[in-house]
Amino acid sequence: MMAVATLARHTLLDALRERVFRLLFAFLIVLMAAAYLVKPLALGEGRRVTIDLGLTVLSLSGLLLIVMLGTRLLQKEVEHRTMLLLLARPVHRWQVLLGKFCGLLGVVGLVTIGMLAILAAVMWLAGYPVGSPLWAAGYFAFLELGILCAWSLLLTAFTSSALSGFFLIGLFVAGHLAPSLIETAALLPSAWARLLLTGTFRLLPRFDLYNRSLEVVHGLPAGAAETLWATVYALLYAAAALLMAYLLFRHREFS
C-alpha cells in the first residue's frame, strides 16, 4: 500500500502545481455575485438561490476539475514517458491506477471542502443559517465526484483525453437524467425499446440521488440509512469502474 500512497501523494502535489485552486476563487466570485445581486430579485428566496447555485456550481466545478485533471492523468505519464520508468519499478499496474485514483480523489476532496467552506461563509455573511444538511449535501456531492474520478480513469484507459472528457460530461448528464429513462420506457409500446431503456438505466450511475440541494433548502439532515447506502453504492460503482480500467490497462503496451 506504500506504493499506492506514494503515487496518490505525487498525483495530489502534481495537481496542486497546476493551480487547480483557482477554481475556488471563481467559485467565490460566482457565489458572492449570487448572494448580493440575485437576492433582491429572488422575492425573499435569496437563501434558496444561494444554496441551489452554490451546490450546482460545486458539482459542475468538480466535474470540470475531473475532466481537466482526471482524463490527463494516465496520458501525461505516457506522453512524458514516465510511465515506463514507473512500470520498471516493482509497482503493479493496479497500484498505479489506485494511486492515481486516490490522488485525484484527494484533490476533489480538498476542492469540495474549500467550496463548501466558501458557501457556508457566504451564507453566514448573508445571515442565512448553516447546518448539517449543507455538510451532508457536500458529502453526497463528493461521493458523486468520486464515481466520476473512477470513470475518468476507466475512460482514459482506452481512449484519448479529449474523448474521455466528452464521455465523462455525457455520463454526468445521463446520470442525472437516469430516472427520465424509466419514465420514458413506461410510455413506449415496443418491448425491445423498453428493455433497452431499462437496461441503460440499470447501467447508469444514479447521480440524481446524490443531489441534496432541496434538503438543504428545507433544512433536512441526511438519514443514517441514506448516507450508508449512498456510500456503499458509490464505493461499489467506483470499484467496478476501476476494475474495468485495470482489465483494460493491464495489457496495454507502452513505447
Residues near other proteins, by CB under 8 A: 42-43, 45, 48-49, 90, 92, 202, 206, 209, 214-215, 217-218, 220, 223, 225-226, 229-230, 232-233, 236-237, 239-240, 243-244, 246-247, 250
Q: How far is the CB of 102 from other proteins (least distance, A)?
A: 19
Q: How far is the CB of 110 from other proteins (least distance, A)?
A: 26
C-alpha cell at 33: 455575485
C-alpha cell at 26: 471563481
Q: Which residue has the cell 455575485?
A: 33
Whose Cβ is closer to other proteins: residue 185's or residue 230's? 230
Whose Cβ is closer to other proteins: residue 84's or residue 239's? 239
Spatial neighbors of 134 by CB under 8 A, at least 6 apart, are 51, 116, 119, 120, 123, 216
8 A C-beta contact, residue 56 and residue 212:
no
Residue 67 to residue 59: CA distance in whole angstroms: 12
Whose Cβ is closer to other proteins: residue 107's or residue 222's? 222
Instruction: State the DSSP code for 177.
Output: T
**In whole angstroms, how far apart are CA 65 and each of 115, 152, 231, 251?**
13, 11, 21, 28
Whose Cβ is closer to other proteins: residue 2's or residue 225's? 225
Q: How far is the CB of 212 from other proteins (least distance, A)?
A: 9
Q: How far is the CB of 88 from other proteins (least distance, A)?
A: 10
